[in-house]
């Protein structure tokens, strides 16, 4: 399986697909009813994490949300998206940035952060759980405490994802939604085609909670990674297939593979 957390993988992929656009999991039309209710003000400052070449932020912009900042770890895709949008959508911002280290952004400066399958990508990379914890810590830091919201759209079911939004360094009030095509005729089809939306609303005092608990979270995740590496004969890569197997052995959970 490719290392979806590795910028080189994405640079190569975006170079090879120059000129094409692709929305992972869901597009704006299917997300619009929920996004409209979660983002009532069109002037909201929105951060798109791991934007890729998805039409999502262009669609948001064209629908009136024109205060959008897009980041991605791939310099290739950011260059492509800047070129594509500089004239048509002059207010749109694109920056090369790692979502686990967003020091260029101040605390409490975004109303909304949207992550569409970027958490899934990080979970298929090295040190997966720690990287996701770093990302959520940074997201919590940059969104506003009075109603700032982090929206993660993922193929991962709550059994495998909710834990990442409930770590002790986070002070979110969480809600979950499921999206599946209206024409699903059986529970099996629903199960196969569902995507999950995790809505995390930042609480006042979150920064203090992060400062107090961060070291403990890092220590715990390092220990878990070491234990998982030992379980897999010294291979320390944290891809979800292995994490999934590990969870399956421990908890009987089935994880869908990351095959798109």
Ligand X SMILES: C[S@@+](CC[C@H](N)C(=O)[O-])C[C@H]1O[C@@H](n2cnc3c(N)ncnc32)[C@H](O)[C@@H]1O
Query: C-beta of 131: minimal distance to ligand X in Å?
Result: 7
Query: C-beta of 76: minimal distance to ligand X in Å?
Result: 9
CB-nearer residue toward ligand X: 71 or 243: 71
Question: What is the Cα–Cα distance from 59 to 63, expressed in whole angstroms?
Answer: 6
Q: Kindly calculate the radius of gyration of the chain based on its CA atoms and give it in whole angstroms.
A: 18
Query: C-beta of 224: minimal distance to ligand X in Å?
Result: 20
Q: What is the DSSP letter of 152?
A: E
- The answer to whether residues 90 and 59 touch, using CB atoms and an 8 Å cutoff, is no
Nearest-CB residue for ligand X: 50
Query: C-beta of 238: minimal distance to ligand X in Å?
Result: 13
User: Within 13 Å of residue 216, how many CA atoms lie on the same side as its CB?
Assistant: 9
CB-nearer residue toward ligand X: 111 or 120: 120
CB-nearer residue toward ligand X: 24 or 172: 24
Strand pairing of 68-72 and 46-49? parallel
Q: Which residue ranges make up the site for ligand X (CB under 6 A)?
A: 5, 10, 22-24, 50-52, 54, 56, 71-74, 77, 98-100, 116-118, 121-122
* Beta strand segments in 13-87, E: 46-49, 68-72
CB-nearer residue toward ligand X: 58 or 111: 58
């Amino acid at each position: 399986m490719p290392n979806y957390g590795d910028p080189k993988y994405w640079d190569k992929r975006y170079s090879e697909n120059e000129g094409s656009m692709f929305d992972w999991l869901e597009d704006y039309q299917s997300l619009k009813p929920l996004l409209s209710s979660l983002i009532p003000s069109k002037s909201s400052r929105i951060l798109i994490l791991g934007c890729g070449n998805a039409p999502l932020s262009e669609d948001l912009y064209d629908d009136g949300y024109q205060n959008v900042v897009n980041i991605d770890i791939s310099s290739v895709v950011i260059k492509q998206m800047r070129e594509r949008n500089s004239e048509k959508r002059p207010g749109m911002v694109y920056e090369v940035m790692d979502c686990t280290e967003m020091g260029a952004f101040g605390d409490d400066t975004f109303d909304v952060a949207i992550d569409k399958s970027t958490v899934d990508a990080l979970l298929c990379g090295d040190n997966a759980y720690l990287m996701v914890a770093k990302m959520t810590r940074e997201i919590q830091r940059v969104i506003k405490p009075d109603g700032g919201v982090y929206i993660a759209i993922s193929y991962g079911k709550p059994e495998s994802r909710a834990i990442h939004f409930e770590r002790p360094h986070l002070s979110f009030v969480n809600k979950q939604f499921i999206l599946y095509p209206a024409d699903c005729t059986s529970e099996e089809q629903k199960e196969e085609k569902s995507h999950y939306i995790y809505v995390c609303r930042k609480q006042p005092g979150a920064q203090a909670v992060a400062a107090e608990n961060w070291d403990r979270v890092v220590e715990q995740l390092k220990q878990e990674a070491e234990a998982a590496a030992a379980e897999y004969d010294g291979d320390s890569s944290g891809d979800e297939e292995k994490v999934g197997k590990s969870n399956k052995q421990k908890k009987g959970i089935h994880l869908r593979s990351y095959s798109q």
